[in-house]
Amino acid sequence: MVAEDTVFSVLYEKFLFWGILVGAITIAWLLYAMIRYRASIVPDTTELDHIVVGSFPVDRHNTKIEVLFYVVPTIIVVWLVVLALASNTAVWVIPDDEEAFDIEVVGQQWFWEFKYNDELTWQDDARVSGIDVAWDIVDDNITIQHLSNPDATNVTVTVGTDSESHALDVATGSTIIEKTFRKFSSLSVVVEDSAGNELHRWGHIPLNHKLSTAAGDHLIVPCDDEVVLNLFSYTSDYSELNSTYWGVQHSFWLPEWGIKEDLVPGLEGGTVMWFMADDPGTFNIRCAEYCGLDHSKMVGYVDVVSPVSYGAEYCDVDTGVKKAGGSS
């Protein structure tokens, strides 16, 4: 389902409203004119009321209505132009890179690679799961509060590529994982029930960390923060970035948000896409540019999560993607 409060979705609804309104008035007037002046009606033969097809009724007309026929459509057209230009301004003004969350996206044959230029620590909504994970940055330990969720029995902790499972202290509802957690390592804490079903996830993505759809990774972005994607494309032999002659053109497409941006070979600085999401969830990534034999395999997902290190408690669950855009 397309996010309902994207810039383009809102603009579409406004254009649809005015289109339906004008169309309804126009059709109503046509129906009235067809009935009022149908062929079976004998016209008045007096000189004052007689209507001659193709001639303007100079002696009988309403100046106010005629002016209204010009003024009202002009106002509507100008209003629609203002709406369209306002949306362009909203999406094409790229946020300041120093303020925004920055990620590099590299299109390869045939998968997406994501490099994080900012670190991200996040977790699922504790109000929904009844589980809260806290990272003690002094002792580098993890504390899991799970008293509000009696189904939580196990936790899988992953540091880098090493995973361990631990039983939760069901009696107290609080469990401390005494393990060294470092900011420069990728970290994951997954709380599960006795059947192995995931109940709550906490994660940390360090600076310069790379994720790849070839490995089944999702692009993970924070909600309520401006996210800037710098888009680049590798050559087919992975030897050069954004090559003019041997580069492969892709198009990074988020269909449910109504935005996409091309990865154009030959542009040294690449292209840019940005968005700010406020609805948690998982959304599709597609390639909208034919890029070779396995073009259909260039699929992926973007997860909108609640950052715990940016001052935002949890994502707003009632709305969607606020705004998005891009630039070459």
Backbone angles phi, psi at 96, to 5 degrees: -65, 125
Cβ partners under 8 Å of residue 247, min gap 6: 233, 234, 235, 240, 265, 266
CATH hierarchy code of domain 101-327: 2.60.40.420
Supply 89's token pair. 């301004």
Residue with tokens 């369209």: 84
CA dist 255 and 284 (Å) reads 7
CA dist 31 and 27 (Å) reads 6
CA dist 174 and 165 (Å) reads 16
Q: Which residues of the chain have pLDDT under 50?
A: 1-2, 310-312, 318-328
Q: Determine how many CB atoms are found less than 10 A away from the CB of residue 32.
A: 10
pLDDT digits (tens, 9 = 90+) for 5-39: 667 777 888 888 988 998 999 899 889 888 877 76
pLDDT given for residue 102 in this prediction: 93
pLDDT given for residue 311 in this prediction: 46
Answering whether pTM is above 0.75, one says no
CA dist 270 and 242 (Å) reads 7
pLDDT given for residue 45 in this prediction: 58
Closest to 148 measured CA to CA, from 177, 175, 179, 127: 127
* 3-class DSSP assignment, residue 245: coil
pLDDT given for residue 327 in this prediction: 46
Supply 169's token pair. 């202290």
Query: Using an 8 Å Cβ cutoff, are 242 and 232 in contact?
Result: yes
pLDDT given for residue 59 in this prediction: 64
CA dist 277 and 320 (Å) reads 6
Q: Nearest 5 degrees, angle CA 123-CA 126-CA 131?
A: 95
CA dist 114 and 103 (Å) reads 7
CA dist 274 and 140 (Å) reads 33
CA dist 5 and 1 (Å) reads 12
pLDDT given for residue 127 in this prediction: 86
Residue with tokens 């504390």: 143
Task: Please report which helix (H) or strand (E) contains residue 309, including its range.
Answer: none
Q: Please list the residues that pair with 108 across neighbouring strands.
A: 111
DSSP structure class, residue 251? E
pLDDT digits (tens, 9 = 90+) for 313-327: 567 654 444 444 444
pLDDT given for residue 37 in this prediction: 72
- The one-letter amino acid code at 326 reads G
Closest to 211 measured CA to CA, from 303, 284, 135: 303
> How are the residues of the chain apportioned to helix, strand and coil, as percentages rounded to the nearest 5?
20, 35, 40
Q: Nearest 5 degrees, angle CA 280-CA 285-CA 290?
A: 170
DSSP per residue, 40-76: TSPPP-STTT---TTS--TTS--HHHHHHHHHHHHHH
Closest to 231 measured CA to CA, from 322, 119, 108: 108
